[in-house]
Structure 1
Amino acid sequence: MVAAYLAELFESHRPRLLGIGYRLTGSTGTAEDALQECLLRLNGVHQSEIDDFGEWLTATVADICADHLVSGQRRAPHRLPDPLVTPLVPRGGGEWTAIAGDRANRLATLVALTSLTPAQRLAAVLPELPAEQIATWLDLDPAAAERAAAIGRAAAAALPGPAAEPDHEAAVRRLLTALRARARATVREGGESECGAEEVASRLHPGAQGMTATPTGPVVIDGPDRVAARLLTVAAEHGIGCPDADPADGYEFVSVNGELGLLLRGPELNRVLAFAVRDDAVWRVFDLAAPAPSHGWG
């Protein structure tokens, strides 16, 4: 068995390691599994073999996640990450609630990482990781690993930072106000009027994208007009803004990876709408399955 004090030390590193596993794989379940396997490996290592405990844990979790990255690349190369859905006012301090609050774990950042190869992603998440270590884990030629590491580090440096929370919330609420106005106009006119569609589109960034998760990767919708049309469909399905709808039955405001979003209730599966903001407008809309129960809830 792992000595009690080593197990306690491991637990002190757990939130950091979970964040690394989540950024590497985009999966809460895989991150948790990686930590469990790391603890099992720790059980089989003598203390004298570990020079720096934190570095050993980081490298071990990264090694385990590297295997998942390679196998996941074959199954779904651009799988969207699991959203971290928590109440706007957290009811308790679960570990995933703390991880969701880390700006490094914003959804737009996690989505950008999905476009990288496993080697590039390892270097983007852990820029201090030597290229030769990446080559060993992924069975790559050292020169190829060095090139991949350089691309990954450059990609990490180029990632756009998330909007400040007040700016994010203001942009999302402007968009939702336009959706509600459209819903009310449709009810007044007794049909599927196009009234308000342009107003919804005007609340979106000119380069707006919508991303919907599928088993093999995201379906991407480009352009504010097309994204607005999709949002109007989703709003109608869940009663967003309809005068006779009870929001408690259809949707509620939540935090998605630390930013304002919506939880949409369905008869069989919940969904979340998450948003990324750029230039004071909603730039990306992510339509994702919500974990049940949502991580950090309670």
Structure 2
Amino acid sequence: MTTAPARDRTVLRLLAAEPAVMLAAGRALLLQVAHPKVAQGVADHSDLRHRPLDRLYGTLDFLTIVAFGTEEEAERMGRAIRRTHERITGPGYSGNDPDLQVWVNATLIDAALFVYEDVLRSPSGDLAAAYIDQARFVAEVLGCPPGAQPADLASFRRYMDDAIAGLEVTDTGRMVMREVLWSRRLRWLWPATALNRFVTAGLLPEPIRVQYGLPWSRARDRALWTALRTGAFAYRLVPGRLRRAGVPLLLWNSRRRSARRARGYRTG
């Protein structure tokens, strides 16, 4: 019996290890729930009002283990999430819908490339194409057929452009947005949440920002991009090995939280 060769995750790990990628976490989430079916699923099955960080930690732990854990850990995580997704059903949506899996994964890929190319202004070259190919593994772990995903960088760009142009933010999506950006449970973190609102609004594609009703202006845009360019200059002065030094701790925390969730599922 032969074993399948290990997947190449070099570029996936390179971008996932960059702390700056988290700048676009809000962009990814609000693009996700700009899709009406995703928004309804989140509203029906996520307790954002009382546990606003659960979805963030769940997504972060999944991505961390898929990128940096063993392939066996990634597959185990995928099976657990697929079982959870089986319970996420409602009128017109399912957690295991391949189209929704492709969309959610695409927003995460888009967020990483947006920070790398637009914020850090790092030349992507072949890196972006390799990242698209390797990041498909994330959706495959969830059971999404490889053929359902954009096959290459050009296809991915077209997919995102077409998808964003067709999005219609619903009242449910706007409710989820308010629970995320104005969480009452996180009022004690108001300086951080205010900054997150500012960055998230500024990094959203303009048509989506308008549909959410988030205020913006040229002055805010100039202030945001001046701060981002200045921060990116300082960020690039830090050696990459030092920037990515926190990965082992991040993986340890993700493994610990995931194990705790698994124990809860078995006893629940």
**TM-score of the superposition, structure 2-length normalised?**
0.27
The structure in which a higher percent of residues are helix is 2
Q: Which has the higher contact order (CA 8 A, sep 6+)?
A: 2
The structure in which a higher percent of residues are strand is 1
**TM-score of the superposition, structure 1-length normalised?**
0.25
The structure having more radius of gyration, on CA atoms, is 1
